[in-house]
Structure 1
């Protein structure tokens, strides 16, 4: 569905939401916190951390070493290891696929995040994506990095989504592709 099919009100509301998710007081706090932790995270997780697509294979291995099952992951999503890992994953998307960080406007707090940031193509690329069902006006793929880390765990997801990798999510930004998550 192209912008031409939107009512003026729909277009205005969608744009306002996009701005609210991009420009709020919570997002820069979270981004700065993760960026400031990154050097220590790298020391603890040796390897090549150059924000390349190939580095996502290493990220996946590091996460899978620490967490085997979803039950192991639960309750740790607010901890520095996973928060920095999620930030790193999102930054690879931003640098390699031109996405940007956003967070839902209701998110608040500093250490107890109500809603975690996600990456999405910028508003200017809105017309690059169409919802195959014609339901959503905004069909840009949204990737929730923390959710992606959870989904690559060997158990039980391995049986549900064979072949899913962190690197394969980068393919979701091809125009017209709806393989990414919906945040």
Structure 2
């Protein structure tokens, strides 16, 4: 099973990329895939959603999926990660249901538990509505060596 190249992932990525121009236009802002743009993305999400429940209710809609894609793309373009997604619909609750980004496998890198650093953009966005520790969306890029 190839988690980096499969129909579930490729269809999702194509859908988000196609929806990006309309989403970008609706925000009235320019999006350049820079780390600094994550501050504006965070502000936009905090203004759009009143809280966790409202965000979860919209999690399959472009108002959440496109920002999640954008957050992942910022990591891909600035940190060297790539997209991954389970090629089959997960049946176990511990398996990731949404796409995520991760650094490439590198046996010489000495990653903790031999797992390359990564991030699930959906989890990062959800975290905006539960974190009280001052973390920000932009902090995700500091996880990579």
TM-score (norm 2): 0.89
Q: Is the Cα contact below 8 Å between 2:8 and 2:88 reproduced in 1?
A: no
Q: Sort the Cα spacing of 1:75 and 1:140 in 2 relative to 1 into closer, same or farther, 3 A.
A: same
User: Which of 102, 114, 131 is 1:158 aligned to?
Assistant: 131
| Larger Cα-atom Rg | 1
Q: Which residue of 2 aligns with 1:173?
A: 144
TM-aligned CA deviation for residue 24 of structure 1: 1.2
Tell me, in whole angstroms, the C-alpha distance in 1 between the residues paired with 2:12 and 2:56. 20
Tell me, in whole angstroms, the C-alpha distance in 2 between the residues paired with 1:72 and 1:53. 26
Q: Is the Cα contact below 8 Å between 2:31 and 2:37 reproduced in 1?
A: yes
Unaligned 5+ segments in structure 1 are 1-16, 109-113, 175-183
Runs of 4+ displaced beyond 4 Å: none
Unaligned 5+ segments in structure 2 are 91-95
Q: Which residue of 1 aligns with 2:118?
A: 142
What SS does structure 2 have at the residue aligned with 1:158?
Answer: coil
Is 1:117 matched with 2:99?
Answer: yes
Q: Is the Cα contact below 8 Å between 1:22 and 1:101 reproduced in 2?
A: yes
Tell me, in whole angstroms, the C-alpha distance in 2 between the residues paired with 1:38 and 1:56. 15
Tell me, in whole angstroms, the C-alpha distance in 2 between the residues paired with 1:129 and 1:54. 29
